[in-house]
Amino acid sequence: MRKADRLALQTLLEDLLGSDNVYFQRPSKDLMKYPCIVYTRAKINTRFANNNSYNHDTQYTVTVIDADPDSDILEKVAALPQCTHDREFQNDQLNHNVFSLAFK
């Protein structure tokens, strides 16, 4: 939930992609360069004990967008801890693979 955690995720995704075409929240498609990764905060899971919150796990939706339907980026993202593939779709001649990722 902290900005430092999100920036750590940004850096991790840039390293996986091998470029800085990683966007937190989707910009205008005119500003996007492909292949790319777009990620958004999906939800924050809070754990409670003694009526107090003590742990917050942030879940992100991570979308890999690439013209190549067999992009090697998919394997790299799928290999992240606590990451699951949700769905795949095509839009504007680009393949979109959507993952859920718990990151702390």
- Comparing 88 with 25, which gets the higher pLDDT? 88
Fold annotation for 3-103: STM4215-like (3.30.2000)
pLDDT of residue 7: 93
CA angle (67, 88, 9) in 5-degree steps = 80
Domain ranges of the chain: 3-103
Checking if the pLDDT of 1 tops 60, the result is: no
The pLDDT tens digits of the residues spanning 31-45 come to: 899 999 999 999 887
Is the separation of the CB atoms in 57 and 102 below 8 Å?
yes
- Using alpha carbons, select from 103, 86, 88, 98 the residue that is nearest to residue 1: 103
pTM of the model: 0.88
Checking if the pLDDT of 27 tops 60, the result is: yes
The pLDDT tens digits of the residues spanning 34-86 come to: 999 999 999 887 778 888 877 777 899 999 999 999 999 999 999 999 999 99
Is the separation of the CB atoms in 25 and 49 below 8 Å?
no
CA contacts within 13 A on the Cβ side of 51 = 0
Is the separation of the CB atoms in 86 and 63 below 8 Å?
no
CA distance 92 to 46: 37
